[in-house]
Amino acid sequence: MPLNPEAVGAESEATTANWTSTDTLLYAVSLGAGTGELQYTTENTNGVTQQVLPTYPVVIPGGTGAMRNIGSFNPAMLVHGSQSVTLHQPLPVAGTASVVGKVAAMYDKGKAAVVVLESTATGEDGSPLYTTSSSLFIRGEGGWGGDRGPSGAQNVPPVREADHTVTYTTSPDQALLYRLNGDRNPLHSDPSFAAMGGFDRPILHGLCTYGFTGRALLHALCGGESANFRHIEGRFASPVIPGETLTIRAWSTGDGEAVFTTSVGDRIVIDQGLLRHA
């Protein structure tokens, strides 16, 4: 059975997600945070209150049940196209959420399809915590005559020097640490599996690059305070190899808004980036 465009609007049953202080500390350390960011990497430092890196929702499980409604496809043809996180309030360092997934859109790109999945989480008191959105690009699954969806680049930086530039060098072992957040795809750890995908060695998780980017923007534009970080979105343009250096450039474009890119040398790895902040 091919993809099912009638799945748009389908929702999953609510699932319960739990995370601990240790989980959020591990996430921060897996993104290179260290002794200079004790509010994200320790829970017992005198005079410091633990916080959660704002991109943490991308590793909180739940809401994936809606995926079963979209039909069948070859998983090898799927790549993660883009990701957004909207925070409705700062995340607790440990907590429980009810997560509901939804097939938000499905676009026919001719030789490929794009499926947009959303997950909405509410806290134990019923208040909204966060919303995430992921676009999945699936080669070979278009052609049913549906809406092509948005086209053209979004969030394009202005033609001038960036207002903020942050550089982080990833570790050659970065993917081995990041995978402990839950994504055990062997593409990021097994050299033989990576070779089958056409890579000389395992690649870094796209969401790890995304997390490094969010961490850079947090310090450059939000004063290092998670409460000031409201929304991030970006498109995955190219894979990263563990050990490569990431350069995050941001351009302020309005009150509480900036566009950004992440690159390795001259190669853009995340583009069409948008940050909203306090």
Catalytic residues: 183, 188
Alpha-carbon distance 53 to 222, whole Å? 12
Alpha-carbon distance of 43 to 258, in angstroms, equals 31
Sorted by sequence, the CB contacts under 8 Å of residue 75 that are 6+ apart come out as none
Cα of 18 vs its chain's centroid, Å: 19
Range list of H helices, 3-134: 21-30, 38-41
Q: Which residues of 85-106 are buried (b: 16+ CB within 10 A; e: fewer)?
A: bbbbebbbbebebbbbbbbbbb
Distance in angstroms (rounded) separating the CA atoms of residues 169 and 3: 40
Amino acid at 79: V
What six digits make up the tokens of 135?
């676009």
In what side-by-side order are the strands of the sheet with 95-108?
15-19, 95-108, 112-123, 128-139, 78-87, 229-236, 267-277, 257-264, 245-254, 164-169
Q: What is the DSSP letter of 150?
A: -
